[in-house]
Chain A
Amino acid sequence: MTVADWATAVLLPLGALFALIGTFGLVRFPTLLGRLHAATKPDTVGLVLLLLGAAFQLPDVGSAVPLALVGLFQFLTVPVLAQTIGRVAYSRGESDRAHLVTDELRQALRESRDDGE
């Protein structure tokens, strides 16, 4: 076992653990927005750790560059997806108000409606 092998042996299960916890949260969280948090973000951390672990098994640094590209792509797309689904969930009234401590967007919407009338 070389140092690179040890790095892979640590990083791969750690990344898979993050992915596993994220999907477990997808099953366990009671609210849609909670599930959205659990499904998108720990998956990203997990994928980055897995990519890093895989990079240590490649023969040279140059062939690891495309893996970095996959990670970068994931970093760029996750915020777009999370924001779009979050906005759609809110506008469909699926924000599960019973599980919110405060909802200042609702207050702001109500105030702007009162001003309009």
Chain B
Amino acid sequence: MNVLEHVYTATFAMLGAGVLFTLVRLVRGPSVLDRIICLNALSVLVVSSIAVEVAVRGDTAYIGLMVTIALLGFVGTLTAARFAERRAHDRG
């Protein structure tokens, strides 16, 4: 089991680095669409991390959480993108 523990640590580390990269782009922008993409990427990364947690624990108690976060990420991203479109129309 020792190998698997190292695997879990490495996987979490890689996902954490992914979150850091996403935060860099989230801060830098420059477009509001960049930030929307980043928020969606973050929600996918959170769902991925919970998938690893499912593997660590070997039970599916967190599935509801995964579905909820994925759903919120999807609806939130879509709403934000639509909003960005409408603002562009108002300006032009």
Contact: B84 with A12, CB < 8 Å?
A: no
Q: Which single residue of chain A is at the shortest CB-CB distance from B86?
A: A88
B-side binding surface: helix, strand, loop or mixed? Answer: helix
Main secondary structure of the interface of A (DSSP, over half): helix
Q: How large is the interface on B (under 10, 10 to 19, 20 to 34, 35 or more residues)?
A: 35 or more
Tell me if B25 and A26 are in contact (CB < 8 A).
yes
Using known A-B contacts A12-B8, A85-B33, determine if residue A70 contacts B66 with beta carbons closer than 8 Å: yes
28 contacts between A and B (CB under 8 A): A9-B4, A9-B7, A12-B8, A19-B44, A19-B48, A23-B19, A23-B41, A26-B21, A26-B37, A32-B33, A35-B25, A35-B37, A50-B52, A57-B56, A58-B58, A58-B60, A64-B60, A66-B67, A69-B63, A70-B51, A70-B67, A73-B74, A74-B70, A81-B74, A85-B81, A87-B85, A88-B88, A92-B88
